[in-house]
Structure 1
Amino acid sequence: MDEDLEKLNREALIAEAQRLRAGIRAHRDASGHGLCWHHPQLWGLLPESIPPEIAVPAWPQFLRGCLKYRESLDHQRPDAPRIETEYDRDR
């Protein structure tokens, strides 16, 4: 799956590592409502294409998963600032 890396020289490998690190940092630094989104930009850093078909949970299961995710943030980052901003697609 990663045979393409074997063909790269040192400079190209460094450039690839920097590109991947930039993508990981952008995902890591997501905040607020951006934490909850589908992230094809991150997955697009891989050389293989993203499968177009994804399984999407039904609403009740999805909302329970969102609650669990948010609860995990309370445990993992209890010191993180809380925001009152509502989601606005146009922002």
Structure 2
Amino acid sequence: MDAVSTYEIIRLTITTVLIGSAPVLVVALVVGLVIAFVQALTQIQEMTLTFVPKILAIFATLALTLPFIFRTLSRLSAQVFDLISSGSV
């Protein structure tokens, strides 16, 4: 296994993690910003007000994007197995 193959696997893994986690992170960011904006406007500083909607939004996003995340991880697995079978690793 040479350095180029190692870097390629690391690059593929990092890219897959970023692409797979992006929908959940974006939804959590948007929901958090909206709730923070509402709290700033109404001056309601309740901790459960930020926690519960964000968790519900994350679970809903996970349920909707699970096929996309699975396809992304399957693509990474196929690429790594192709590298292994070709003798690059």
TM-score, normalising length: structure 2: 0.37
* Structure ID, larger Rg: 2
More helix by percentage: 2
TM-score, normalising length: structure 1: 0.36
User: Which structure is richer in relative contact order (CA contacts within 8 A, separation 6 or more)?
Assistant: 2
